[in-house]
Amino acid sequence: MILIENQGCCRAGIRRNDLGKTDPPVYVAADEIDDCKWTLCTGTLSGFLQVALAYEAVFAFPFQRKDFMYWLTEAELETVRSDLEKQPFGLYGWLGMDMSFYSNAFDNMVVIMDCGDLEMLYGAASETGYKKLMEAMEGLGEAI
């Protein structure tokens, strides 16, 4: 086990048979979906750690909109995809959703969570990074 989600609703781990690998894949089991079914969420431990740290960073960013989470339409997602750079890491099958990450500066991040509906959160570590992000994100999404 390498991570238990803060609300205890899912766990991430490495299979025993993979422990000898240099950078083993990571699997997730979600309590409310099927506790016994482990699903591949990243191909490498290093990729998992990168995603986990990026995701947690968004929560800690000092520059965010008042409403933290947003619903996103498919058309708005296309705006994100065209105006921001997709990051080379992501998470799949996490609580039944896929997460992808986008940015347009080294210190800002948008997280898109696709669980059938599209959810989004974003922020920046600096005011400059936030202003740059808002050039693309202003007006996108409906507060949850």
Residue-level pLDDT at 5: 75
d(CA 113, CA 118): 6
First to last CA, the chain: 32
What pLDDT does residue 96 have? 76
Per-run averaged pLDDT (10 residues), the chain, 144 residues: 78 93 92 70 93 91 90 95 95 84 96 93 96 94 92
pLDDT of residue 125: 97
Ordered by start, the domain boundaries in the chain are 3-143
The pLDDT tens digits for 1-37 are 888 877 767 789 999 999 999 999 999 887 655 556 8
3-state secondary structure of 106: coil
The sheet with strand 10-13 has its strands ordered as 3-4, 10-13, 26-30, 39-42
